[in-house]
Amino acid sequence: MDSVDLEVLKSSARWLELGHRALLVTVVKTWGSSPRPEGAMLAVRDDGLVVGSVSGGCIEDDLIERVRQRGIEQSVPEAVKYGITAEEAHRFGLPCGGTIQLVLEPLNKASGIAELCEAVEDGRLIARRVDMATGAVQLGPALATDGVDFDEERLLTIHGPRYRMLVIGAGQLSRYLCHIAVGLDYQVTVCDPREEYTDEWDIPGTKIVRTMPDDTVLDMKLDERCAVIALTHDPKLDDLALMEALKTPAFYVGALGSRRNNAARRERLKEFDLNDTELARLHGPVGIYIGSRTPPEIAVSILAEVTAAKNGVSLPTLLKVEGAKAAREIAASGGAVCSV
């Protein structure tokens, strides 16, 4: 789930604890262009205070005004649509005549928001089912492939980390990368058997393991919603993780290093019986080219490439580190660079 949406849940739980009423607004369906995806949430307190987003501004303003004018009168959830007509789309700022359907749910302590927050912060993936006729709520385990489901009688939403990330190495770069990855809602595991690196590891929201990287990859049973990033610069550690990770369905497998080091790494990995198709999945040098030099900048570069892979975006060669640096060398030597 989006970290913004987790903040919506945490704020809602806090408001209820303080004795306020709150309205939880969830995007359940969109037609055409939409600023926020299905499952996005907004909470409005009984005094008009708001957290989260479902559209980008105009619908939020309408919902706030609705609460200020009428309070939170309803006792059960209701579904509403915005942007059905061109006039409404213009009024509410929906792009290109887009339409959005929302569920407005009045919250109380029986809504299970506090319990849901606790489960999500514990790293669990939770399904929340809301009965539209009664407002009754059920919480239970969910699968990473589950999504928002609304059939006018029941609303199902999924909360918690859907994607996992395994980082090999607990050095300085890993610290910056993991801080950002947690903000991107990855369930982050850091693997490093070297005590001098792990003894001082203190990044909130991450799990540190001291097993060998190949064993860690096997233990995690990586699937299509996993990313692996090797950052130690030590072939004895990085290569062990890569040789197993490249055999899995992980959507991203990358390794830090220069072009020369990554070419040498590919030759070494061939000795582990990895075929050309598996080797072609390796991102290395890892990241996109933004001229990064410091650990925080390199972390941004790496996670930008990971995000593109996660979202199914194929990056042009000139955006990748290897392609961009090769193009710069050609340009510096007076050769022509063909952009694609």
pLDDT digits (tens, 9 = 90+) for 69-96: 888 988 999 999 987 566 665 666 665 5
Q: Are 54 and 102 in contact (CB under 8 A)?
A: yes
The helix-helix angle for 259-270 and 321-332 (nearest 10°) equals 130
> DSSP secondary-structure letter at 291?
-
Asked if the model's pLDDT at residue 340 lies above 50, the reply is: no
Q: β-strands 149-150, 154-159: how paired?
A: antiparallel
> Mean pLDDT, the chain, as a whole number?
88
Stretch 194-200: mean pLDDT: 90
Model pLDDT, residue 160 = 83
Asked if the model's pLDDT at residue 166 lies above 50, the reply is: yes
For residue 68, give both structure tokens. 């200020």
pLDDT band at 31 (very low <50, low <70, confident <90, very high): confident
> Is 183 or 306 the better-scoring residue by pLDDT?
306
- Residues 279-296 pLDDT 10s: 999 998 899 988 888 999
Give residue 201's Cα distance to chain centre: 23
Asked if the model's pLDDT at residue 227 lies above 80, the reply is: yes
Question: At residue 168, what is the residue type?
Answer: I
- Which whole-number Å values give the CA distances from 24 to 8, 165, 211, 227, 322, in the listed order? 8, 30, 43, 32, 46
Model pLDDT, residue 125 = 86
The helix-helix angle for 172-183 and 295-310 (nearest 10°) equals 40
Stretch 12-31: mean pLDDT: 94
Stretch 136-140: mean pLDDT: 96
Q: Write out the H or E segment, with its range, that includes residue 185.
A: none
- Residues 303-329 pLDDT 10s: 999 999 998 898 877 777 777 767 677
Phi then psi for residue 135, to 5 deg, are 80, 0
Model pLDDT, residue 35 = 67
Tell me which of 62-71, 262-271, 329-338 is least confident.
329-338
Q: Are 238 and 232 in contact (CB under 8 A)?
A: yes
Q: Delineate the domains of the chain, giving CATH numbers in brackets.
A: 3-159 (no CATH), 163-313 (3.40.50.720)
The model carries a pTM of 0.67
Using the CB atoms, write b or e for 282-321: b if 16+ within 10 Å.
bbbbbbbbeebeebbebbbbbbbbbeebbeeeeeeebebb
